[in-house]
Structure 1
Amino acid sequence: MSRPSPESLVADVRNSAEGPSIGAFFDFDGTVIAGYSVVAFMRHHVTHLDIDVPTTVRTLAAAGGQALETEEDFKKFLGITLRTWVGRRPEELEKLGRQLFRDEIGPSVYPEAWRLVRAHLDRGHTVVLASSATRFQVEPAAEALGVDHTIYTAVEVGEDGRITGRPDGRSPYGEGKAAAVKEFAAAHQVDLDHSFAYSNGNEDVPFLATVGRPTAVNPSSGLRRAAAERGWPTIDFAGRPWTGPVEVARTVGTYAGMMGGFVTGLGLGLLGGSRRAGLNLGIGLGGDLSLLASGVTLDVVGGHHIWENQPAVFLFNHQSQLDVLVLGGLLRGNFAPVAKKELANNPMFGPLMRLLETAFIDRADNTQARKALEPAVERLRSGVSVVIAPEGTRSATPSPGRFKKGAFHLAMQAGVPVVPLVFRNTGEFMSRNAMVIHPGTVQVAVLPPIDVSTWDPADLDEHVEGVRRQYLETLAHWPGED
């Protein structure tokens, strides 16, 4: 039994045959994400008082995995879960699933799993999320990961369009998942002997055995024994770092350093008679002190593109609040942010962003958004760069979400280039909705400037998607590592 590293697993995929005849089947709970997606659903139901506590307790206890030794055990667990949805419409749970993935489940995606998925997609493989969970849990993840195929437990819907509380057919659990994979492979001309599969649970031994290249990921004790007996490789993903008193204290020091450094620098600049000089000094000093206190360092590739191309519209893929500190330490100054209007009322960042002359935009009001960008155009024309997250919000996974066009309109109007800043792993040190920062090295790639002066507005959607593809390509093939 081998114990490959995440990097060697990705390398094996990149050295494998190309094309859709090669399958890559990923279990979901515990393999792609840390923990169990059903927990987020149950927690939501309890918070909104639309589920009884005994049902929740039984579901969460079973979700720990210890109670699911047989397919019969799983059927009982599934029955408990589905009873909480009796009478609901599928559209309601689809909406809830997207919300919970964005806010809770998505940030628990293992970075190692994301990189494996991207590597398979890059090879043109047929990638499948294969789970015994329902589509309300699995499909939002598949969409965010760029995966087109899913295998899941179908839920019966009555003639009245409401969920009955029963599964629709056999669940893909244990032998059922193995059978579903074989059926999928036959329908999609996938060669299982040359395909890959990844899972963490005892019940998935038959599933893993369907392919020629199985890997036990974060394996349970039973799967670990089975993998040893069969000679399957095993790997344990690192997961999220532990939060303790030291990390909390560091985070407090980080925010204190950010605010203290900024106020000090601004004050010194004002004493010298220049508000812009004060802003630049404050940004640089605040960024340095906050990164020092947090234990975060920057590993930057292509940093010369920042200094050689100003003013510019700097884009960054938004993963967490840590991005703000990274931008301060990276750009040093001479920029003004563009941010959603909700940040104006943030007790920590709101006052700071007002001082930075931020253009606050209402994402729900296109007319207001265009008007709010007018001062940003003037700042660019006066020689001050602008920083904006083209997704408009923090992404739930390392994959950037759909880019909005505002940043590119801004650059075209001001006649300046777009410079992409690719943040590889800020979400690993501070997840989407977290408050605590963990120490480590944030990797940043500054891509060459993009001249938008010749772009035709009629082709803007295609151009914008091309820039997003540059982010995906850079994240999948980090400079200097291939």
Structure 2
Amino acid sequence: MPPYTDITTEIDNAPAGAQIAAIFDFDGTIIAGYSVFSFLREQVRRGDLAPSEIVAVVEAVARFGLGNSDFAALMSLSAQSMKGLKEQDYLDVAQKIFERDLAKKIFPETRALIEAHMRKGHTVAIISSATPYQVEPCAKYLGIDDVYCSTMEVSNGMFTGELGGPLCFGIGKVNAAVALAKAKNVNLDDSYFYSDSTDDIELLEYVGHPRPLNPSQKLREIAETRAWPTRTFKSRTSSSTLGVTRNIATKLSLVGSVVAGLPIWALSGSKQEARNFSMSTFADVASAVAGLKLEIIGEKNLWASRPAVFIFNHQSDIDVLICSKLLRRNFSGVGKAEIKKMPFIGRAMEYAGVVLIDRKNSKSAIAALEPLIDRIKQDNISVVIAPEGTRTHSKKPLPFKKGAFHIAMQAGVPIVPIVIHNAMDVSPKGDSLYYPGTVEVEVLSPINTSRWTPENLDKQVAKVEAIYKSTLGKSTAVVE
């Protein structure tokens, strides 16, 4: 069963069409915690706030959290603290904060709900009391075009220290939903609103399908009296210590698996058999330690044509484990040269046959890949490589580099695409934690490379890249 099917069942069975809206609050609903703290830390780091301003903002946030201050006072103070700053600088900072801090806090279950609504062709929107700088990078990442927020006044590219209009809070969220309904011909009686807080009670009462998500205790009590269905997601609120332990133990299991394979090499004289034992052991032990499960579609394609060049879209550092779990034996990989600096891990990766390349030096990288062609031809060893060259936050892959395709073409073996749908749920980019979960993987049919030439290689790479975009896009495809 694909991940999160139990969570999306209601939406999967709901009517389709853009006349139905799925409206999401942001803090505590789409992401765990509150984005304001990430922005406050960044302002302190950059020196944008004087010590007195820091104390005032922290006190205001605390008072609001305890219910001793109204939201307008908090937002006015925030606006004043930004007076004189360039908006463009803040936009750039906002993107960095999303990539560094907020992307890893997105609840995968909430993202699954968003994608389920998109598959139904529903109008998906975020209505948040936060600012666009907090919300819009995440909305763009999730593919959400309609965003309603509280705004700050900007004049000549500079923040004035004043609010930009009515706050998107309380009844202001209802007004935003009504504006959305008028703009998109939405029927709010048939629409959904997801929120974690009683601050949004007006909009929860206004829509036809209120859906408290990660509700506060007070909202949970209200929901129980009104028979509103509730859900609480804990995938991004588990123990940090446990998550870090999973990460470390997963990596160390590679070292242990390599050591366990050394006697096989000594007794049999076959380094490859020892590698096969080590990688297979690593795949099983590390998956158990990390809490990783795979839902595999097209598993037969893993064995249909070997040797081959297996390529995968790179979402997470746990992709290494996923590929080991899939391929099991007689394969080699490609990694970044920085791995050499990791104590024990670097040596273990090299022993396992992984070629570590300097991505910044294209000539040396190409030279390092050439022996892999001989290994494919002479030893029937497959190669697994990420054509993007680095990880990305998004399901949308980065432009493919041609190294993997050159190897396949010159070795005369097929390309086998491995499409990883949601590895970021288990190990988000930039996070040191591993979260237990199920990753959906599609192994597509082998692609014949016998007619590939240096002259048509760019065209062939573009075709494969298009296959990835199409396959990954199915999760948000509109159901007709």
1:119-198 equivalence runs, <5 A: 119-159=116-156, 161-198=157-194
Rounded to whole Å, the distance in 2 between the matches of 1:419 and 1:57 is 56
Rounded to whole Å, the distance in 2 between the matches of 1:286 and 1:95 is 41
> Is 1:79 the counterpart of 2:80 in the alignment?
no
> Is 1:466 the counterpart of 2:462 in the alignment?
no
Q: CA deviation at 1:242?
A: 2.8
Of 56, 67, 79 in structure 1, the residue corresponding to residue 65 of structure 2 is: 67
Of 43, 46, 54 in structure 1, the residue corresponding to residue 44 of structure 2 is: 46
Corresponding residue for residue 16 of structure 1? 14
TM (normalized to structure 2)?
Answer: 0.83
C-alpha distance after superposition, 1:352-371 (max 9, x if no partner): 33332425252x67677666
CA contact (8 A) 2:257 2:278 kept: yes
Q: Using the aligned pairs only, state the percent identity.
A: 32
Runs of 5+ consecutive residues of structure 2 not aligned to the other structure:
none
Q: CA deviation at 1:269?
A: 2.4
CA contact (8 A) 1:313 1:407 kept: no
CA contact (8 A) 2:427 2:433 kept: yes
Rounded to whole Å, the distance in 2 between the matches of 1:371 and 1:156 is 54
> Is 1:279 the counterpart of 2:275 in the alignment?
yes
C-alpha distance after superposition, 1:35-87 (max 9, x if no partner): 111111222333444434554455456557953759x7212222333344333
* Equivalent AA in structure 2 for residue 471 of structure 1: L
1:368-407 equivalence runs, <5 A: 373-382=369-378, 383-396=380-393, 399-406=395-402
Rounded to whole Å, the distance in 2 between the matches of 1:271 and 1:423 is 37
Greater shift, 18-27 or 303-312, is seen at 303-312
Rounded to whole Å, the distance in 1 between the matches of 2:21 and 2:363 is 46
Rounded to whole Å, the distance in 2 between the matches of 1:297 and 1:138 is 31
1:235-254 equivalence runs, <5 A: 235-240=231-236, 242-243=238-239, 252-254=248-250
Change (3 A) 1:451 1:90: same
> Is 1:329 the counterpart of 2:330 in the alignment?
no
C-alpha distance after superposition, 1:145-189 (max 9, x if no partner): 122221122222222x22223221122111112111211221222
Q: CA deviation at 1:432?
A: 3.3
Of 341, 351, 373 in structure 1, the residue corresponding to residue 347 of structure 2 is: 351
TM (normalized to structure 1)?
Answer: 0.83
> Is 1:449 the counterpart of 2:445 in the alignment?
yes
Rounded to whole Å, the distance in 2 between the matches of 1:93 and 1:370 is 39
Rounded to whole Å, the distance in 2 between the matches of 1:401 and 1:233 is 36
Greater shift, 227-236 or 177-186, is seen at 227-236
Corresponding residue for residue 116 of structure 1? 113
* Equivalent AA in structure 2 for residue 154 of structure 1: T
* Equivalent AA in structure 2 for residue 467 of structure 1: Y
CA contact (8 A) 1:419 1:446 kept: no
CA contact (8 A) 1:318 1:391 kept: yes
Of 91, 95, 101 in structure 2, the residue corresponding to residue 94 of structure 1 is: 91
Of 300, 305, 313 in structure 2, the residue corresponding to residue 304 of structure 1 is: 300
Q: CA deviation at 1:376?
A: 4.5
Greater shift, 181-190 or 267-276, is seen at 267-276
Corresponding residue for residue 480 of structure 1? none
Q: Would you say how many aligned residue pairs link Structure 1 and Structure 2?
A: 468
CA contact (8 A) 2:20 2:190 kept: yes
Rounded to whole Å, the distance in 1 between the matches of 2:210 and 2:241 is 40
CA contact (8 A) 1:30 1:200 kept: yes
Q: CA deviation at 1:30?
A: 0.6
Greater shift, 462-471 or 388-397, is seen at 388-397
C-alpha distance after superposition, 1:200-219 (max 9, x if no partner): 12121222334222211112
Paired residue secondary structure (1:209) = helix
Paired residue secondary structure (2:127) = strand
Rounded to whole Å, the distance in 2 between the matches of 1:461 and 1:65 is 55
Corresponding residue for residue 433 of structure 1? 430
Q: CA deviation at 1:468?
A: 3.0
CA RMSD of superposed structures (Å):
3.5
CA contact (8 A) 2:264 2:270 kept: no
CA contact (8 A) 2:252 2:345 kept: no
CA contact (8 A) 2:64 2:71 kept: no
Q: CA deviation at 1:387?
A: 2.0
CA contact (8 A) 2:193 2:207 kept: yes
Rounded to whole Å, the distance in 2 between the matches of 1:86 and 1:104 is 24
Change (3 A) 1:331 1:176: same
Change (3 A) 1:326 1:210: same
Q: CA deviation at 1:117?
A: 0.6
* Equivalent AA in structure 2 for residue 354 of structure 1: E
Change (3 A) 1:458 1:428: closer
Corresponding residue for residue 32 of structure 2? 34
